[in-house]
Structure 1
Amino acid sequence: MSTSTKFTIHEDWTVVILSFLIIGISLFIFIPEVPVFSWSDTGDLTAKVFNFKNLKIIFIQFIYLIFIGTLGVFLIGKSVKYFLFTFPALYFLTLVALLLAGNSAIKSVNLEAVIFSLLIGLAIGNFFKLPEWFRAALSTEVFVKIGLVLLGTSVIFSDILKAGSLGLIQALFVVLSVWYFAFWLCRKLKVDDELAMMISSAVSICGVSAAIATSGAIKGDAKKLSYVISIVLITAVPMMIFMPLIAQYFNFPEEVTGAWLGGSIDTSGAVAASGTLVGETALKISTIVKFSQNVLLGLAAFAISVYWTYSQNASSETVESKPTLKVIWQRFPKFVIGFITASLLFSFLITAETRDNVKDSLKNLQGIWFALAFTSIGLETNFKDLLANNSRKPLYAFLLAQLFNIIITLIIAFFLFS
C-alpha cells in the first residue's frame, strides 16, 4: 500500500520565493499601478478614489495579491479553499483602513494605515466570534515577511553613505545601548523573554518593522506581537508632536534635532512628520538616521535568532548543551536572507533609473502586505485576554526604555551632530 506525501516548502523560503516573484514581475513583466486613496471631502472621495480608473487599479491589485497569496498558501501546505474564502473579506477591511488613512485631516496628524488596519481587526476580532477556520486561514506571518523582504528594496546603501557615516555610527550606538538596557529592564520587571525581545528591538531599532522581524526570528506569539505594535503606534504620536516642540523651546541645532528624532521615534512616517515640523535639514538628517537603523534590521534579526537558538536550547535541555550549526540554520529566519539580498540587489546590481521606475510600486506593495498583516493580527488577537495575561509590566518596560532611548539618543546626537 503506497502513501502520498503532500509537497510543502518551509514558510520562510516560501516568503523569499514570493517576494522575488513580486520583484521579478515589477522588473521584467509589468509594474503594478498604485491606487489612489487620498481624499479630503465626499466629492473628492468620489472623484479621486471611486472613479472607474482607480477602482480598476484596486481590482487588479486584488487579483495580483490573491494570486501571490494563494500560491504561498499552497506551497506551505495550508488550505487554499479557506484562504480563497477569507482573503476577499481581509482585503476589503484593509481597503477601509487605507481609505481612512487617506483622508487629508488624518494625514495631517500622520496616522498611518497600519494603525487603522490593526484597530479594525481588533474591533471585529474582539466583538464578533469568528469561525475557527477563518482564523486558521489568516496567513499573517507570510504577509508580514513579504512586506519585510520588500522593505529591503528601499534600503539603498549608497543613499546612506552619500550623507556620511555619522548616521550609521549613531544608529549603531543607539541600537546597542538601548536594546541592552530595554532587555535588562524587561528581565528586572519579570516580562517573559518573547515579549522582552520584541520590546527591546522595537524601542532600539525601528519600531514596528523590528518587532515583526524579531517575532519572525524567534517564532513569537502573534498576540504578543500585536501588543507591542499597539504600544509602538500609540506612543509614536505624542513623541512626534512634543519632541519638535521641546527642541524648538531649548533651541537645539537643527542637525541635532533631526538626529534625535530619527534615532528615537519608532515609525518612519512619524519621523518624517516630526522632521517636517522642524525644518528641511532636520527632515533630511532624521530620515538618514532612521534609514541607518533600518539597515541594521537584517543584522539584528540574525543576531537575535542565533541568541534565541542558544538560550532556548540551553533552557530546554541542559545548560551545557549547545546547538549545532545545523540547528542554528534550521531555526534561522530565512526571510532575513531575502531582506539582505533585496537590499544588495537594489543597491549594487540595478541601475538608478530602473530603481526609480519601480520604487513607488514596490513601496505600495510593501505597504499593502503590511496592512493586510496588521488586519490579520487584529482579527487573531483577543486584546482583553492579552492585557489580563501580561498585566501592565510590559507597558511600563516599554515606556521606561523609550525614555532612556530619548535621553541617550539626544546625548549621542549632540556629540556627533552639534
Structure 2
Amino acid sequence: MNGTQTAGMKAGAGMPAVPQSHGWSDLWKKEDYWAIWMGLGVVLAALIFFYAGSSIKPIAVAPPTWVDFSEVSKHFAAKWTWYAGLYVLFIALFTISSAVMGFKAGEFIPGFTILFIISTVILVVGSWKTAIDLNLEPPLLALLLGMIVSNAFKLPKWLDTTFRTEFYVKTGIVLLGATLPFTLIIQAGPVAFLQATIVAVVTFLTIFFAATRLFGLDRRFGATLAAGGSICGVSACIALGGAVKAKKEHVSIGISLVVIWAIIMIIVLPLAAKAMGMPPGIAGAWIGTSEFADAAGFAAAAAIGDEAAIRSFTLMKVVGRDIWIGLWSLIMAVIACTVWERSCSAGQGEKVNAMEIWWRFPKFVIGFFLASLIMTFVAMQFSPAEFKKVLTPEVIGPIKTLRTWTFVFTFLSIGFTTRFRELTAFGWKPLAAFTLGVAVNVPLGYILSVLIFGHYWAKI
C-alpha cells in the first residue's frame, strides 16, 4: 500500500493518481509518515511506562471472552474510564493528524465517535464464546456489518472523512512490527522476497497480456489492472496508474476490481485453508500471496484464528510484496516513457525521475521495520522466560490490543465505503482480465506456500 489516501476502498473515488509534489512537508502531510509517528509513538510510550514501573494497559483495553452477557456488564462497569481514555487517545491522534493533512476536524470528530462506538460493540460480539467458535473474528464482523449498512442505507457524505481505511491499517501495521521479532523477518525475509517476486511477475504479466492482447485494452489500463492484482491492491493501482499516466477512470476501475476480489478472498481463503487443514503459518503465507489488499488480507489472516497466520501474512504481503511498489512504478514509468511514448526518448516529453522509486515506496513499511528493531533490541535484555512472563503482558499485549482496534476501524471503513452497485459499473473485459490473474495467482500461491516453501512457513 502507498501513501495516497482513498476514501476507504471506495471505487471511483476520483483522486489524483500521482502526488503532485514531494518535499519535507511530506513528513507531516502524508499519512504514511503519520502512521510511523503514531505507531512508533505508541511503542515508545509503552516502553517508557514499562521502564518506569507502569504500563499502558489502562488505555489498551478490549472486552474479554464471555459466555453470559452479565460478564460484559461487569467488565464495562469496572473499566469504563479505561475506554474513555482509549477514546480520547485515538480521537486526539487521528483528529490532529487528519487536520494537519487537510481533513475537516469538525466532520472527523463526530464520525470517529460513531466509528469507535460501533467498533466497541463489534469487539464485544467478537469476544462472545459462540462467535469465537464460529470463527467470526471482529475484523470480519466489522466488514460484514459495514457492507450491510452501506448497501441498505445512504450514508452522509461527510462520514467519508472518517473512513480512512489506509491510514488505520498502516498505523496498525507499524504496531504489528513491535510484535514481530526482527530475527524472524531476517529468517523468512529471503523466502518472502523470492516468493513475492515469482508471484508478482507471473500475475502482472498474466493480467497485462490478457488485458492488452486478449481483450484489446489500452496498455496503460492493462498495467494499472496488473499492478492492482500483483503488488498491493488499491495503492498499486494508484501508483502505477500515475507512473504510466493512465486515465483516472481506469484507475477507478482497477480499484473496483481489487475491492471485489479482495472481499471474495476474505471469505474464501480462510475457509479453504481450514478445509485443507493448513497449519496457520502456511495459511497466512498463502493468503499473503493471494490477497490483493493489506486490509482485506489482515481480515482473512485473522480469521485463521492464530497469531502465526498474521505473522506469515505480514512477512509475505508487507515485507515481500508491498515494498516492490516503488521499483515496479519506476520500471513501468521507464517503459511507458521510452517505449509507449517515443517522444519522451526524443527529448520532447517528460523525463523519468530516478527518485520515483523513493516517492512510490510505501514509507509506513519503514515504521514497521523500526518498531520490530526497537522491540527486538529490548527483548535481547531478557531471557525467553522473562520475556514471556514480564514483557509480553505489560508491553506486547497492550500493543496487540491497540493494533486490533485499528484493524476494526479499517474493516468498518471498508464495509461502509463498499457499494455493490458502484463496483459493477464497468464492462466485462477488465473483469475478465483481472479474473484470469486471480485464476493464476491463487493456485501459484498455493504451490509456493504449501509445496515449495511450506517447511519455512510452518515454523513461523
Q: Give TM-score, length-normalised by structure 1.
A: 0.76
2:208 to 187, 194, 206: 187
Matched, 1:240 2:273: yes
1:358-369 superposed matches below 5 A: 358-369=395-406
1:396 deviation in Å?
5.1
2:230 maps to which residue?
200
Instruction: Judging by fraction of residues, say which structure has more helix.
Output: 1
1:43–1:347 distance in 2 versus 1, CA, 3 Å: same
1:152 deviation in Å?
1.7
1:387 deviation in Å?
3.0
1:146–1:400 distance in 2 versus 1, CA, 3 Å: same
1:302 maps to which residue?
323
1:94–1:174 distance in 2 versus 1, CA, 3 Å: same
- 2:192 aligns to what SS in structure 1? helix
1:129–1:231 distance in 2 versus 1, CA, 3 Å: same
2:39 maps to which residue?
19
- 1:94 aligns to what SS in structure 2? helix
1:90–1:416 distance in 2 versus 1, CA, 3 Å: closer
Instruction: Check the 8 A contact 1:125/1:380 in 2, yes or no.
Output: yes
Matched, 1:113 2:138: yes
Matches of 1:272 and 1:74, distance apart in 2: 31
2:123 to 98, 110, 120: 98
Matches of 1:99 and 1:193, distance apart in 2: 43
1:341 to 336, 359, 370: 370
1:139 maps to which residue?
164
Cα deviation, 1:363-398, whole Å, max 9, x if unaligned, reads 111221121122122222222211343755334532
2:262 maps to which residue?
229
- 1:154 aligns to what SS in structure 2? coil
1:102 deviation in Å?
2.0
2:73 maps to which residue?
46
1:36–1:260 distance in 2 versus 1, CA, 3 Å: closer
- 1:384 aligns to what SS in structure 2? helix
After TM superposition, the structure 1 stretch with the greater mean CA deviation from structure 2, 369-378 or 31-40, is 31-40
Matches of 1:237 and 1:83, distance apart in 2: 33
1:199–1:234 distance in 2 versus 1, CA, 3 Å: farther
Kindly, what percent of the aligned residue pairs are identical? 22
Instruction: Check the 8 A contact 1:313/1:323 in 2, yes or no.
Output: yes
Instruction: Check the 8 A contact 1:217/1:332 in 2, yes or no.
Output: no
1:174 maps to which residue?
195
Partner AA of 1:174 in structure 2? Q
Cα deviation, 1:78-116, whole Å, max 9, x if unaligned, reads 111111121111112222332332222222243322222
1:180–1:130 distance in 2 versus 1, CA, 3 Å: same
Matches of 1:144 and 1:60, distance apart in 2: 21
Cα deviation, 1:138-192, whole Å, max 9, x if unaligned, reads 333321221122122122123466xxx5x55543443222222222232244285
Partner AA of 2:399 in structure 1? L
Structure 1 unaligned blocks of 5 or more: 1-5, 202-209, 248-256, 277-282
1:66 deviation in Å?
0.5
1:318 maps to which residue?
341
1:330 maps to which residue?
359
Matches of 1:181 and 1:374, distance apart in 2: 29
Cα deviation, 1:289-313, whole Å, max 9, x if unaligned, reads 556436xx24633321232244246
1:264 to 286, 311, 315: 286
2:246 maps to which residue?
none
Q: How many residues are paired up? A: 379
Instruction: Check the 8 A contact 2:326/2:356 in 1, yes or no.
Output: no
Alpha-carbon RMSD across the aligned residues, in angstroms, is 3.7
1:223–1:56 distance in 2 versus 1, CA, 3 Å: farther
After TM superposition, the structure 1 stretch with the greater mean CA deviation from structure 2, 385-394 or 121-130, is 385-394
